[in-house]
Amino acid sequence: MSTVVFPSGNGTLTSTALVPVTFQNLLQPVIAQCLGLDPVADPKTAFYKVRVGWQQEGQPGWKMGEDVCILRAVLENADFARVRDELFWENTDSPPGTDLTKQMGFTQVWNLHLTFYGPNCEDHARLVLSAMTLDWVHDILAASDIYRIPATARPTYLPENFQGQWWPRADVEIQFNEEVTETITAHSAASVDVTVVTDKPTTATIHIAAP
């Protein structure tokens, strides 16, 4: 949850939108559990074997015989992500007829790229894809308004040449939709005067005020 206060009394915008680092940190323990690791009881092992990309400081390297997963997340410029819904309702915290609450809803589309190294890289990639269909994974992600897009390509085996050796590697990409809600207080008119002019030399003024 982020909050921005605009200058000159233009309101406060509150947003539930995640950024890549928060999305990765949210998925890291989930991926660890999908691989049978316990990020609560043994976080050192879980987060050694499941790492996040673009880390500020490098973690210790691993040996060719170790199984390690590296995840990184980016936002997709999907057509669906450009559509916004807007809704207004009365702000009960303000005097009647002065402010409205404007709610904007849209969807962020995330592409989670998982790179598996080690002798079990292909099997671990398959395992994560299978675990993503389970109810307990769905429930963890749904608590943060994140939902997996079912159409996922199968893992790709891509051995990587590093220092003259071919390291076993398998890649898989999983997409998610994130439901985002943003709210801001919008000013409204407490009253308005409407003047009606007819084809005859007469006019009528109507005063409309908020209840």
Where are the chain's structural domains?
2-209
Q: What is the pLDDT of residues 136-180, one digit of tens each?
A: 999 999 999 999 999 889 999 999 998 899 999 999 999 999 999
C-alpha closest to that of 51 among 35, 31, 36: 31
- Structure token pair of residue 100: 């409205």
Q: pLDDT at residue 96 above 90?
A: no
Contact 195, 204 (CB under 8 A): yes
- Strands 156-157 and 169-187, by their bridges, are antiparallel
* CA angle, residues 122, 144, 104, in degrees to nearest 5: 125
